[in-house]
Structure 1
Amino acid sequence: MYQIKKIIVCLDQSEMDKTLVKFATFIAKSNQSKKIYFTNIIRNLSIPKDVLAEFPNLIDNMVEERKSQMKQVVKENQDPDFNISTAFIVREGQLSKKVLKLANEKSADLILVGKKTSIPGSGVISQRLARRASCSLLIVPENSQPKVKKILVPSDFSDYSKDALEEAIEITEKNDGKSEIVCQNVYSVPSGYHFTGKSYEEFSEIMLMHAQVNYKKFIRKIDTKGHTITPLYTRDEDDDPVVDILNKAKEIEASIIIIGAKGRTAATALFIGSLAERLIQINNKVPLLVTRPKGKNAGIIEYILEI
């Protein structure tokens, strides 16, 4: 996986900003990143022309005020001993469009956004960013703590699952091998199993065996760099693998969930995968990293048309 050199952090003047600044510092320190862009997007301003004529510095003053507030929250929540180049960017417009445009301009490696459940404020539209960003996206629920003690990687043994597991291995490398990686496969018993003459439990064993064989093939393609990967197989009983993933994350006290974005070509760029889509929707407890090989999102065509 590529090194995270440039990080975009989406602030919105809420309590969520403190958590995001701490996460950004944690990530930048472990990756020896070069720059963090703290950004705030002001929603479209509808200020009459006659008002602007009377107060020509109104918008400039508003922008400077936002930048001052951002600088203050960063100063209060960033490790004072950590020195990294920072920039403070305030723009006007639609949230996801402006963040995507900024990520493209700065050739960002990671976008960092918050996920709110109780904190007031608009936040940032994570799903839209995950679909269209040309880099990875980290979604941080409120009150999360920046740590990587246990990493949960849901896997269907595909190429994008490979991306996610390689990212987990890279994180473990940077954490001096102190992170524990759990690779979870959620399998199910097909509804027509009874036509085979097998019982539900018998066919469940067959599906489990196939999952174990596929994992062995999958892991042979990956350089684990000497780190232990713990495979975990979960039988889906309610046709909702995301619930199984989140339950397992809670059970093992996962620090982060890492999943690969499905889109890798022009035809699939806007489809990050139903699993990732639903994880983004309903997960509000565990930081979620949606990985995408930098520059691989051919959805840039739609992005250009929409900006």
Structure 2
Amino acid sequence: MYQIKKIIVCLDQTEMDKTLVKFAAFIAKANQSKKIYFTNVIRNLSIPKDILAEFPNLISNMIEERKNEMKQVVAENFHPELQISSSYVVKEGQLSKKILKLANEKSADMILVGRKTSIPGSGVVSQRLARRASCSLLIVPENSQPKIKKILVPSDFSDYSKDALEEAIEIAEKSERKSEILCQNVYAVPSGYHFTGKSYEEFSQIMLEHAETNYQKFIRKIDTKSIKIKPLYTKDQDDDPVEDIIQKALEIKADIIIIGAKGRTAATALFIGSLAERLIQMNDKVPLLVTRPKGKNAGILEYILEI
């Protein structure tokens, strides 16, 4: 895992900004980050040329006003004792493209975006960013509190699940081992179980034992750094593992869910996995960190920005 030295925070002039700034301060303090880019993207100015000719300073004044508004929010919600270099960036255009380009130009380690439920405004297209960013993405629901006592890591024992668990271990280490990590595997009983001659209960037990064995194989490949990791096994009753993950996160009062992006090579870089896709869509209660080894999507960025 890499250090989070450069952070991009996507602000949009709503109440969500306060929450995102607080999270940025929390992450920066834990990681001793060096630089934060507070960013606002204006979707479309659409100012006629004759108006711009009459008022040549209109755009520059508006950009300066937005920067001042961002500075005000940061001043009110960022820890003043943190000596971290900050920049205020205002762009015009399509939100995801501008953020992706900025993340690439600045070699960002993490992008912070908001997840709205009641606050007005369109917010950030988190799913598109998760697919295409060359770094990790933290999606923060409104009114979330920046604390990490309990970390839920959904796992299918794959390589990208390994990335997510290693990230959780690193976070726990930085919190002086005060964070609890729970690794959840959602298993299901296949519909054709009856062809085996086993009852539903018997085959359910077989699937559970299979999951437990796979977890032991999986955890042996990971340096846990002596941090205790508790495995959780959840039987999927309705063919919807995402509901099981969200329900478990709420049940244990998880402070964050961490899941790995599926794309690990140039050929798969646009994929984050159906589980991550649906978690981004459905989860609006718990902060969600989609991890990706830095730079994995960088090679196709020029193509992406033309889409």
The TM-score bracket by the shorter chain reads over 0.9
Q: Offset of 1:299 from its aligned partner?
A: 4.3
Amino acid in structure 2 at the alignment position of 1:95: L
Task: Give the equivalent residue in structure 2 for 1:98.
Answer: 98
One-letter code of the match for 1:130? A
Secondary structure of the residue that 2:303 maps to in structure 1?
helix
Residue correspondence of structure 1 range 140-179 to structure 2 within 5 A:
140-179=140-179
**CA–CA distance in structure 2, aligned partners of residues 99 and 156 of structure 1:** 30
* Structure 2: 5+ residue stretches without partners: none
Find the counterpart in structure 1 of residue 88 from structure 2: 88
- Structure 2: distance between partners of 1:254 and 1:215: 21
Tell me the alpha carbon deviations over residues 4-44 of structure 1, each in whole angstroms, 9 at most, x when there is no partner: 00000000000000000000000000000000000000012
Q: 2:233 maps to what in 1?
A: 233
Q: TM-score, normalised by structure 1?
A: 0.98
Q: Per the alignment, in what secondary structure is the counterpart of residue 113 of structure 1?
A: strand
Aligned-pair CA distance for 1:267: 2.1
Root-mean-square deviation (Å): 0.8
Match of 2:224 in 1: 224
Which residue does the alignment assign to 1:118?
118
Counterpart Cα distance in 2 of 1:152 and 1:21: 23
Q: How many angstroms does 1:301 deviate by?
A: 4.9
Greater Cα offset, 116-125 or 130-139: 116-125
Shift of 1:269: 1.1
- Is the partner of 2:215 in helix, strand or coil? helix
Q: Which residue of 2 aligns with 1:259?
A: 259
Q: Aligned residue for 2:56?
A: 56
Spell out the pairing of 1:132-147 with structure 2 (5 A cutoff): 132-147=132-147
Gaps of 5+ in 1: none
Query: What's 1:77 paired with?
Result: 77
Structure 2 CA distance for aligned equivalents of residues 99 and 304 of structure 1: 10
Can you list the C-alpha shifts for 1:232-283, whole angstroms capped at 9, x where unaligned?
Answer: 1000000000000011001100000000000111221111000000000010
Partner residue of 2:246? 246
Give the residue type in structure 2 aligned to 1:158.
S
C-alpha distance in structure 2 between counterparts of 1:302 and 1:198, whole Å: 52
Contact 2:97/2:305 (<8 A) preserved: no
Partners in 2 of 1:251 and 1:301 — Cα distance?
42
Whether the 8 Å CA contact 2:186–2:233 is kept in 1: the answer is yes
